[in-house]
Structures are given as structure tokens and as C-alpha cells.
Amino acid sequence: MFAYMIRRLVTMALTLLAISFLVFVIIQLPPGDYVTTQIEEMIAQGTAIDAKRAEFLREEYGLNQPFIYQYATWVWGLVHGDLGYSFEHNLPVADVVGDRLFFTMVLNVATVIFIYAVSFPIGAYSATHQYSWNDHGITFLGLLGLATPNFLLALILMYFANVWFGTSIGGLMDPIYQNQPWSFAKFGSVLAHLWVPVLVIGTSGTAGMIRRLRANLLDELQKQYVDTGRAKGLPEGRLLRKYPLRMALNPFIADIGSLLPQIISGSVIVSFVMSLPTTGPMLLDALQSQDMYLAGSFLMFLALLVVVGMFLSDILLAILDPRIRLEGTVGQ
């Protein structure tokens, strides 16, 4: 178990390193750098440009250095918790993002929990009642959930949440709590606002997970050990809980690998629509204004969430399933 964990940790670190390189290449892609964009803007506004100042800025930000050197500096900083400097806001990135990263994590973790909590019972029901009207209904709703762009769902749900429940539009808490320290009232307010984005982001994921659990469980239910259990007189509920559900649970948890990127993609666009204090809206701004270190930090953080999530799910799987623990691979 310990050796397995170490091996997984090493692969995780290597993956993150590769991702950081990819992210750095991407944020470097736009032609020119932040200073050129700035100078162009100043020319457009008719302000005189100070060549010396431009040179100073480049020097200051290290934009003159060769690519590899810039990359190495950036990664070295990341490892030490220094996220770089935001050109747009004239502040260190760490100060700009504030608790956005924390809220992003809260939002995504809540969505994962929501998806698992909802899709497990529904998927199990759907599989045990195959081809019943309820099963058809669930399948239809699930397909609709897969097909609807979630940003539109966000808009519509936001409207109805406001009309029916009077939840204030946008944000993760009532405006009065914005700058207050954490308290139970603030926590309650966050919870009251959290359900709309969680529901919206979770819809397509839930739909996918229900379909997958249903398929897995249907495969298991056809196996002979189920008949054997039934023949020796096990009650249906106990039979289901004791054997096929446990077998179907394994790929269900392993699927977090495809679920997490999807949730995070969803949370980016949904938080833009609902203007949540998470990474989404600011990432968009940063990308548009070529604020490369800010954008890079957000991209890295989102990738980190996925990679760490996968790591945790692998550990969980290893605890659940001795085959993985002993062989070191996810058997599917």
C-alpha cells in the first residue's frame, strides 16, 4: 500500500510538471507580451510612451529572458508558493486571487459530492427497474441534461431561483456578508447560494454517472452469482447490497477521472454566467488581457484540482479493492 502510494505520488508530480510546461507554452502563445499590449493601448489613447519605462517593465518582469529561463523561474516560484506577478492588477497574483481558489475548491467538491449522492441511488434504481416507465423517464431526463449547455441552464435556474425563492442573483453569498469574517450566518448564506451552481454544474455529470452506474450494474446483475444468491434465498435488497452493488461501485469511483475535468470545465463557464467569486470570471479576464501569470496560475490550479482528485480516488480505490492494492493497477 505504502509503495503504491509513493509510486502514485511520483507519477502525480511528473504529470504536474508536464502540465506546467504545457500551460506555460499556452500562456506564452499570444504574439507579443503584456508590455507590447500596454504600449499599443497607450498609442491608441495618444499617450506618449516612454521607451525607458517599457524597457524597465520588461526587465522587471523578466520578459527579456529566454523562454526556458522564464519557465524555470515560474515553476520554481510555483513550488515555493510564489504565483508570480499580475500585470493587470499590479499586485502579486496571490493577493489578486484571494479566496477565489478556496471558493473554487468548495464549489467543485460540493458538486462532486452532489453528483455521487444523487446518481448512485438513481442509477441503482434505474438498473434494478430496467425498462420500467421510471427508468425510461430517468434516461430521458439524463439525456436532456447531457444535451443542454449548462450556462443556459444557469441563466434559467438563476431566474427562477430569484422569482421563486428570492435568492439574490449572482455571487455566492448575500452582499452584506461580503467583507465580514466567517460566521454561521455567513456560512448559511453561502449554502443558500451554493445549491444553484452546484445543481447546474452537476446536471450533465449526474446524467453521465447515472448512465454508467446503470450499465455497470446491469452487467453485474446478469452474472451467475446473482442467481446463486437468489436461489439460496437471499432477500432481493440484501442480495443487491451485498454483491452486485459493490462490484459496480468500483468503476463508478474510478470514473472520477473523466468526471473531474468535466465538472471543472462546467464550473468555469457557470461561474462566469453567475459571476461567482471563483476562478472562472477572472480567468476569462486574465486570458483576454494577456495577464499571463494570473491566467497561468488559474490554469495550473484547475489542473491541480483534477490531478489531486484523481490521486485521492486512486487511493480510495486501493483501500476498497485489494486487487489494486496488490497489483498496483486499476483493474477494469
Partner 1 sequence: MTHPTDPDRLPHRVSEKPFVFDDEDALTPEQERYYMASQWKMMWWRFKKHRIAVWAGAILLVFYLVAALVEVVAPYGLETKNVRFKYAPPQAVHLFHEGSFYGPFVYPYKVTRNLETMTRVFTPDTTKPSQIRFFCWGDKYRFWGLIKGSFHIICPPEKSTMYLLGSDSLGRDMLSRVLYGTRISLTVGLIGITISFLLGISIGGAAGYFGGWVDKSVQRVIEILRSLPELPLWMALSAALPANWSPILVYFGITVILGLLDWPGLARAVRSKLLALREEDFAVAARLMGAPPKHIIGRHLLPNFMSHLIASATLSIPSMILGETALSFLGLGLRPPVTSWGVLLAEAQNINAVALFPWLMIPMVPVIIVVLAFNFLGDGLRDAADPYR
The contact set with partner 1 (CB under 8 A) reads 15, 18-19, 22-23, 26-27, 29-31, 143-144, 146-149, 151-152, 155-156, 158-159, 162, 169, 257-258, 260-262, 264-266, 268-269, 272-273, 283-284, 287-288, 290, 295, 298-299, 302-303, 306-307, 310
> Nearer to partner 1 by C-beta: 245 or 263?
263
Nearest one of 107, 84, 105, 80 to 94, comparing CA atoms: 84
Q: How far is the CB of 308 from partner 1 (least distance, A)?
A: 10
In Å, what is the CA distance from 104 to each residue of 16, 99, 198, 269? 19, 9, 11, 12
Q: How far is the CB of 292 from partner 1 (least distance, A)?
A: 10
Q: How far is the CB of 29 from partner 1 (least distance, A)?
A: 4
Q: How far is the CB of 291 from partner 1 (least distance, A)?
A: 11
> Nearer to partner 1 by C-beta: 26 or 192?
26
> Nearer to partner 1 by C-beta: 216 or 267?
267
> Nearer to partner 1 by C-beta: 299 or 318?
299
CA distance 204 to 221: 26
> Nearer to partner 1 by C-beta: 139 or 186?
139
> Nearer to partner 1 by C-beta: 240 or 286?
286
CA distance 332 to 326: 15
Torsion angle of the four alpha carbons 50, 55, 60, 64, in this order, in degrees rounded to the nearest 10? 150
Distance of CA 185 to the CA centre of its chain: 27
CA distance 183 to 7: 41
End-to-end CA distance of the chain: 19
**Alpha-carbon torsion 15, 21, 22, 23, what sign?**
positive
Q: How far is the CB of 264 from partner 1 (least distance, A)?
A: 4
In Å, what is the CA distance from 70 to each residue of 6, 21, 79, 244, 268? 30, 11, 14, 53, 27
Q: How far is the CB of 30 from partner 1 (least distance, A)?
A: 5
